[in-house]
Amino acid sequence: MSSPVIPFALFVVISSLISPSLSQTCSSQKFTNKKVYTRCSDLPALKSFLHWRYDAENSTLYIAFVAPPDKPDGWIAWAINPNDVGMVGAQTLFAFKNSKGEMVVKTYDISSYSSIKESSKLWFDVKEAAAEFSGGLMRLFATLVLPEKGKMTLNHVWQVGASVTNGFPAKHNFQPANLNSKGTLDLLSGESKTDASGDSKVKKKNIHGILNAISWGMLFPIGIIIARYLRTFQSADPAWFYLHVSFQCSAYVIGVAGWATGLKLGSESKGITYHVHRNIGITLFCLATLQVFALLLRPKKDHKYRLYWNIYHHGVGYTMLILSLINVFKGLDILDPATKWRSAYIVILVVLGVIALLLEVITWIVVLRRKSNKSTKPYDG
């Protein structure tokens, strides 16, 4: 019979390996400054916690926000949005290390995603603010005086980031957890409800990315490979043409669907504009639509304008290929998916590139042999 000491020892070792920041709940947390809060909540995103005490008579809110930054030199933030649920319009408290390695708290008015300014005048008055960092967790303490007495429900937002540049918090990630770190807070009941629209928006972004990666990022290049190389082989005529049209039309239909979801996302994301990605997307849609209509005006092979049509068609097609690949990677940068998805797409492009290179060599061999046969064919007088 084994000694009970061994299982107990294993339990102690395993328990010691579990990160304190992962195993804690808000009710188990204690603070070195001996501050006491009557309510706490295990926030549903970013492994964060919020403690608070509300003095309704003086409209004063005492808070302690606890979260692990993305990196030790990163930052944490907690905010109240007086007008909406979300980051735009949030009156924000940022905690991070300054150039001396000391924890500081700065206040920011986030009027838009492109306009984040340090401001001493917020919707609420900050009577006291401090921060500390230990055990992988940053803790932000603040005493706030709310301008509206009797206001028992607040829109709050919280966030974490990886770095601070010249005393300014760098951009945070855009993973689902970062996008869903918002909700409403009932100061008296202690309930913290998240905004369900965050999950919906993430799904729309994923759909937008998948549709465009399949259309512009895969089907469109395959259609170009078919047109460029298969038509060299006489036995593939006219099959190559119908395959080419099928792939490009499919890419166009799926791409338009992806473009439409992008427009919808843009209209729902006030203050967020990815100018380069959007402009390339609009350009691709216009050029693709032009290509579809140009197909209806395609001259016959022996027509005198067929050469000019070919130059236009090929030029626009290769321009679209370059823009589509650029925009797919722009979209990946914005969506910031798991590394495996970017790697998978790169592998697909490499495979298509190798296939194109092999077909390019084979095509040149076929063309040169044909020219050689014609040049050596005896003159039939």
* Rg, C-alpha atoms of the chain: 30
pLDDT at 20: 46
The span from the CA of 273 to the CA of 266, in Å, is 7
Averaged pLDDT for residues 289-298: 87
The span from the CA of 166 to the CA of 157, in Å, is 24
The span from the CA of 215 to the CA of 255, in Å, is 5
pLDDT at 198: 52
Please, is 292 exposed, middle or buried when counting C-beta atoms within 10 Å of its C-beta (0-12, 13-18, 19+)? middle
Is residue 255 within 8 A of residue 212, CB to CB? The reply is: yes
Strand partners, 227: none
The CA–CA distances, whole Å, from 147 to 6, 82, 123, 281 equal: 59, 10, 7, 44
Q: Is the pLDDT at 11 greater than 70, yes or no?
A: no
Q: Which helix (H) or strand (E) holds 49?
A: strand 49-55
Please give the model's pTM, rounded to 2 decimal places: 0.55
Q: Is the pLDDT at 21 greater than 80, yes or no?
A: no
pLDDT digits (tens, 9 = 90+) for 313-324: 999 999 999 999
Order the strands of the 49-55 sheet from edge to edge.
Answer: 39-42, 49-55, 60-67, 137-145, 125-134
Averaged pLDDT for residues 12-23: 43
Percent of the chain whose predicted confidence (pLDDT) is above 90: 45
